[in-house]
Structures are given as C-alpha cells and as structure tokens.
Amino acid sequence: MENLHKERPLLEAKGISKFFGGLAALQGVDLEVNRGEILGLIGPNGAGKTTLFNIISGNIRQDQGEIYFEAQNCNRLKPFERCRLGIARTYQSVRPFLDFSIEQNVIIGQRYGCGKNALLNSDFDKDGKKILKLLGLESKKYELTKNLTLVDRKLVEVARALATHPKLLLLDEVLSGLNPVELEKAVKLIKEISVSFNITIIWIEHIMQALIAICDRFVVLNYGTKLLEGEPLEVVANEKVVEAYLGRTGKRLITRMGQS
C-alpha cells in the first residue's frame, strides 16, 4: 500500500512568476527538490535561473507563487531568516569580505547562519576547521581574501555558505573560470560536500560534463518557463533541450559521453 504520509520535498516552489517591467523573467515555474539530491538547474543565459535562486534565497520577492521549505511557507521571510532555516547560497560573482581573512569569513557565516549572540572558539574549532580542511584552505586560513586567487575566493564563498549549517545549498556557477584540472577537483569536491555534510544541492552550471557526472536530476528553464525535467542523460538528449540550449555541437558531445 502506498505510504499516505510520504515525506514532502525539502523545497517546493509553486507557480513562481517574476516580472521586471514588461519582461517576464519567470512564468509559473514549479520546482520540487528532495532531500539529499543534487539537482542541476540548466538553460541558456537569460532563462531565469539566477532569478529563481534570488527568489528562493529571499533576495527578491516573486510576483506570484509560493515558496515552501520543509513545508513552511517562506514568502514573507527575509534572507537571513531563510538562511537560519537552512538555505544558503553562493554567487556567480564571488562576494567574500576581501579585507577579512579566510577564517574570519567563515566565522561570519557561522554567526549569520546560527543566529547566536556570541560565537565561542569551540564553535569554530569544531565546524570551521572541518570546512576549511575539506576545501583545502586550512593552511591559508589567516590570509586576507583579497590576496587570494579566483579559485580560492570561490572556495571561500563555498566555505562561508557551509558555515551557516545549510540543509539546502544553492551553487551559482562555481566552476566558471576554472581550468580543466581545477574543474575535475571542484566536481569531486561538490559531491563530497553533499555527502560529508548531508546537504541537498541545487546547482546552476553551464559545463555539462560536470553536471552529468554527479547530478541526480536536471531541470531546464527557457525564457522563464520550465521546459523539461528528468534524469540528466535523458534531458540533454531531448530535442527541445538541444534546440533551446545545447545546439548540435552539444548533442554530439553528450552522445560521446553516453557511449563512454
């Protein structure tokens, strides 16, 4: 007999629409994200992916629709309140505190996410060190973020988000600007983050090889609407997705990946 009390998705976005003047950035988008999965959110530039992230995280308010996190309606919650519920994000253009050290950036994440009036040294020792070690930043924790490479700044962005103790992590093109060796390491790291911290991830990215390697499911946006969702290889082989986003060159690449 089917379980009538089946657990609801961790995140539910229902009928989300957002208009900027006469431009419809999102139109009636539905999205469900289950606990523990890595969901790839794909689509051409201007499809509405980052706008959806901004709505989920509370940076902007949708014009229509509802956002539920762990069955709680979040429509009226501010970004810091959503963060304290367990929603964290990174930005495509990294935004660390440049005049602070790596360690200080992580401590800010801990304070912001946990909502504590004071942060004990033991809090950083327990959680901060684990985060920095996983991301390979432990030996650099006293360095100012403004002196870091782009790769390390991206890692600081992820570290600060992880320090808030999220249940859901929104990753916005964390691989952009990385070389092939860095890409391979970063993909393995994202998977390890999901497993080690028991975090659900929604990942916006344009590098298909990376997404296919670890994503459980894809959702495709196009012109602000949901075009398709499903298993990665099935989605990228779909003619509508090829036409709207991948192009014929992309289809040949995906075909080779499927045969390898």
Domain ranges of the chain: 95-165
pLDDT digits (tens, 9 = 90+) for 195-237: 999 999 999 998 888 999 999 999 999 999 999 999 998 998 8
Compute the C-alpha angle 54/58/62, nearest 5°. 75
Distance CA 125, CA 238 (A): 48
Q: Between residues 79 and 119, which one has the greater pLDDT?
A: 79
Give me the pLDDT at residue 27, please.
97
Residue 113, pLDDT > 50, answer yes
Q: Which residues contact 168 (CB under 8 A, 6 or more apart)?
A: 10, 11, 33, 69, 86, 87, 88, 199, 200, 201, 202
pLDDT digits (tens, 9 = 90+) for 153-206: 999 999 999 999 999 999 999 888 888 888 888 999 999 999 999 999 999 998
Going by the DSSP 8-state scheme, the letter that residue 156 receives in this structure is: H
Residue 5, pLDDT > 60, answer no
Query: Average pLDDT over the chain, rounded to whole?
Result: 88
Q: Which residues contact 21 (CB under 8 A, 6 or more apart)?
A: none
pLDDT digits (tens, 9 = 90+) for 25-83: 999 999 999 999 999 999 999 999 999 999 999 999 999 999 999 999 999 999 999 99
254: pLDDT confidence band, cut at 50, 70 and 90?
low
88 half-sphere exposure, CB direction, 13 A CA radius: 23
